[in-house]
Amino acid sequence: MDFNKIFSDIYNTIKKVENTGKVAQYIPELALVDPEKFGVCLVRLDAGKFHFGNANEKFSIQSIAKVLSLTMAYEIKGEKLWERVGVEPSGTAFNSLVQLEYEKGIPRNPFINAGALVIADILVSELENPKKEFLAFVNQLCHTKVNYSLQVAESEKSCAYTNKALINLMKSFGNIKNDINEVMDFYFHLCAIEMTCEELSQTFLYLANDGVCPLSQKVIIDQSKSKRINSIMQLCGFYDEAGEFSFKVGLPGKSGVGGGIVVVRPHKFSMVVWSPRLNAKGNSFLGTKFLELFTTKIDYSIF
């Protein structure tokens, strides 16, 4: 399949669509990103790699990191993890507070902010040096050196009013065990990892390969857990747009407010699209359109 031609054909189609998306403003450092950037990378399990546009420029992966922190925590805690966080779609915004009070501080799933804060709390309990060990975990998956952007982490910390409300509410219900500031600091750092489309698609290939990193052949997570993480991505990866994304794109995936989207086609490939302008639900406007046309054109859905 000529992916290079497919990517440029789809790009030429979607660039005619008026992009009504807006770059994330609530994290001041993210508001400085050039809104016109656009990159794609697809990495196949059988070693083919295809790029388009700004695929080798670093961007803030933000909530995409929640899949990686979940993987780490799930491997450590096993099924006991689900006593503290659910696996149901939330149908609410990524930073919503509304369900959390009704549901007694147990977040709906690990990909909304509340759920990712609980996962961060678990890793703070379990790891000796969470920031260092998390980075080492990511580096072994992508086989290059990635790092945190300290500016982005600090920038988010300076105005994290909603995340502070979420974590305080969960602490009051007993679902945060560590010091709130320590957990938030770790959470902001993991969101502030910077990667290129190529690094990120390489990183996610273990979820297309039943939990095994194809570069090192190391088992990152067992097959059943890998399948379950994919199913959570399918149902919860796009907040209150998860149904529409599944309807249009048909692949498990995860978005971030840095404008990245990663999707996984089990047993075939992982793919990342980056375009910083976000739609009203906080997902990349052009990235979603690109993936919709891509899976329509190549018939690569899991269904």
As given in the structure block, the two tokens for residue 183 are 């957990």
- Identify the bridge partners of residue 149 per DSSP, sorted by sequence position: none
- Which is closer to ligand GLN, CB of 63 or CB of 90? 63
- Residue from 61, 75, 250 nearest 149 by CA: 61
Distance CA 219, CA 210 (A): 9
The catalytic position among 148, 187, 206, 300 is: 187
- Binding of residue 94 to ligand GLN (CB under 6 A): yes
- Binding of residue 282 to ligand GLN (CB under 6 A): yes
Q: Is 206 annotated as catalytic?
A: no
Contacts of ligand GLN in 54-73 (CB under 6 A): 62-63
- Which is closer to ligand GLN, CB of 148 or CB of 300? 148
Distances (CA, A) of 71 to 55, 111, 253: 25, 12, 14
- Which is closer to ligand GLN, CB of 209 or CB of 288? 288
Distance CA 249, CA 230 (A): 14
Between the two ends of the chain, the Cα-to-Cα distance in Å is 20
- Which is closer to ligand GLN, CB of 55 or CB of 191? 191
Residue 190: CB minimum distance to ligand GLN, A: 9
Distance CA 39, CA 43 (A): 13
Question: From the list 89, 256, 276, 287, which residue makes contact with ligand GLN (rule: CB under 6 A)?
Answer: 256
The catalytic position among 66, 157, 171, 289 is: 66
208 contact partners, CB below 8 Å, separation of at least 6: 45, 264, 265, 266, 267, 268, 269, 270
Q: Is 257 annotated as catalytic?
A: yes
- Binding of residue 95 to ligand GLN (CB under 6 A): yes
Number of residues that bind ligand GLN (CB under 6 A): 11
- Binding of residue 163 to ligand GLN (CB under 6 A): yes
Q: Is 102 annotated as catalytic?
A: no
Distance CA 187, CA 142 (A): 20
Are 253 and 261 contacting, i.e. CB atoms less than 8 angstroms apart? yes
Q: Would you give the binding string for ligand GLN spanning residues 182-211, x where CB under 6 A is met?
A: ---------x--------------------
The catalytic position among 74, 148, 206, 239 is: 239
Distance CA 220, CA 180 (A): 29
- Residue from 251, 255, 250 nearest 238 by CA: 255
Distance of CA 160 to the CA centre of its chain: 19
- Which is closer to ligand GLN, CB of 14 or CB of 278? 278
Q: Is 40 annotated as catalytic?
A: no
Q: Is 300 annotated as catalytic?
A: no
- Binding of residue 284 to ligand GLN (CB under 6 A): no
Catalytic residues: 63, 66, 187, 239, 257
| Residue ranges binding ligand GLN (CB under 6 A) | 62-63, 94-95, 113, 156, 163, 191, 256-257, 282
